Structure 1
Amino acid sequence: MSVQIQDTPGYVKMADDVSQVTDMLRCMQSAEGFLLVYSITDYRSYEYIRHLHQHIRKVNSDAKSPIILVANKGDLLHVRQVPPEAGIQLANELGCSFVEISTSENCQDVCDVFQHLCKEISKHQSSNGEKRRGTVIPRPKSPNMQDLKRRFKQVLSPKVKTPSAVA
C-alpha cells in the first residue's frame, strides 16, 4: 500500500490563501482515509472536529472512508481542556475509532495510528471489492520551496569542487 500524507490546517481563515483551501478540498475529495487530530489542551480544536467531519462527508467521493479520531498531547494532563470521555463520545457520534496519544513522548503511538488507518483502508477496499488507484495531489508550495530548489541545484551543480577534483 502506498501512503501519501497531506497535512491540512484545522483552522482555515477567510484571509488564508485560496490555493491552500483549494488544495485541501482536492485532498479531501480523493482521500481514502482520514486522521482527525485535536489537542487535548485546546478545546477549540476539539470543537472543530465535528465541522471538519461534516465537510469531509460532503466532499469525499466515498462516504464510508475510514476515519480515526486522534486526541494528541496526552502528556500534558496538567493543562487538559478536553476529557477522554468527550473524545470517546465524539468518536461514537461520528462512527469512527478513537485513540489518545502523545507524539512527544512516544513516536511508536504515531506509527500505530497510521498502521491502524492503513489496515482500515485495506479492509474497506476489500469489502467493496475495489482497488482504487491513488491520486497524486501536488503539495502546496511553501515560501521556502524556491530556496530549497536553489540549494539542491547548488549542491548538484557540476561546478562544485569534489574532494577528488581538488586533489
Structure 2
Amino acid sequence: MALSFSRECHIVVLGAAQFVHNQWIESYDPTIEDSYRTQVSVDGRQIVLEILDTAGTEQFVAMRDLYMKTGQGFLLVFSITSPSSLSELTMLRDEIIRVKDDENTPIVIVGNKADLEDQRAVSRSKAFALSQRWNAPYYEASARTRTNVDEVFIDLCRQMLRREDTDPAFEVDDKMPSHHHSSSNRRVRRRRRESGHRCVIL
C-alpha cells in the first residue's frame, strides 16, 4: 500500500476583494493578518493549506514582489460585478511571470460574488476566454455562500502536485515573508511535519 505523505501548501490569494472567510478554516491565527490554515484531501494525498489572503489589502502592494517570488501558485480573484477587477488580473499575472520567470506558474482564476448574478457585469464567456488564453482553470465562486471555494483550492493544489511530480526544476520549500510568520512558529511547524513533502502556493 502506497504511503500518503502530508504536504504543506502556502497559498496567496490576489485580486479585487478578500476571498477567504475564516469560518471555512479549521484554525485562524489573529496575530497573522489574513492568514488561515486548513487541511484538504487531494487525490488521496493529505494537504495542509496555509492561506494568505492579500486580495483587497493596499498594504500588500509594497510586499508584492516578495510574495510572488516565494510563491509557487496563485489564486487570481475578480468580482463578476466589476469589469475593472477583471482587467487588474492581467497586470497581476504579468507581474507574477516577470518575478518568477515562469510562464507555467500554477494559477486559478476565480470570478467571485457568483451569488450576485443579478448584478453581473462580466460575462462568463469573457472570463473563460481569458482563462483559455492563460491556460488556467476558471471557476465562478461565492465567498459568502462558499460555492466552489473548496474546488478552487483543490484545483490549485492539484496543479502544483502535478508540477512537482513531473518537473524536477519545480522546487518546493516553505519560506514565507518573515513579517507574517515568526521564526519560532515556523520551527515548530517544521518539526511537526519534517517527514512530509512541502509545496508552496502563494
TM-score, length of structure 2 as denominator length: 0.60
Q: Which structure carries more relative contact order (alpha carbon 8 Å, separation 6+)?
A: 2
1:101-112 map, 5 Å: 101-106=141-146, 109-112=148-151
TM superposition shift of 1:11: 7.8
1:41-56 map, 5 Å: 41-56=81-96
TM superposition shift of 1:68: 0.6
Task: Give the gaps of 5 or more residues in structure 1.
Answer: 142-167
Superposed CA RMSD in Å reads: 2.1
C-alpha distance after superposition, 1:51-82 (max 9, x if no partner): 11111110125432111111011110111110
1: CA distance between counterparts of 2:140 and 2:102? Answer: 26
Q: Which has the larger radius of gyration?
A: 1
2:128 alignment partner AA: I
1:40 alignment partner AA: I
1:27-106 map, 5 Å: 27-106=67-146
Aligned residue for 1:36, secondary structure, equals strand
* Aligned partners of 2:55 and 2:77 also within 8 Å: no
Deviating runs (4+, > 4 A) in structure 1?
A: none
* The structure with more strand, counted as a fraction of residues: 2
* The structure with more helix, counted as a fraction of residues: 1
C-alpha distance after superposition, 1:123-165 (max 9, x if no partner): 0111113542221223459xxxxxxxxxxxxxxxxxxxxxxxx
* Aligned partners of 1:30 and 1:61 also within 8 Å: no
Aligned residue for 2:77, secondary structure, equals strand
Deviates more, 1:52-61 or 1:126-135: 126-135
**Distance of aligned partners of 1:10 and 1:95 in 2 relative to their CA distance in 1, 3 Å threshold:** farther
C-alpha distance after superposition, 1:2-22 (max 9, x if no partner): 12223234585xxxx6xx434
2: CA distance between counterparts of 1:90 and 1:62? Answer: 18
2: CA distance between counterparts of 1:57 and 1:10? Answer: 21
Deviates more, 1:1-10 or 1:120-129: 1-10
TM-score, length of structure 1 as denominator length: 0.72
Task: Give the gaps of 5 or more residues in structure 2.
Answer: 1-6, 11-50, 182-202
Asked if residue 8 in structure 1 is aligned to residue 54 in structure 2, the reply is yes
1: CA distance between counterparts of 2:176 and 2:142? Answer: 30
2: CA distance between counterparts of 1:84 and 1:35? Answer: 18
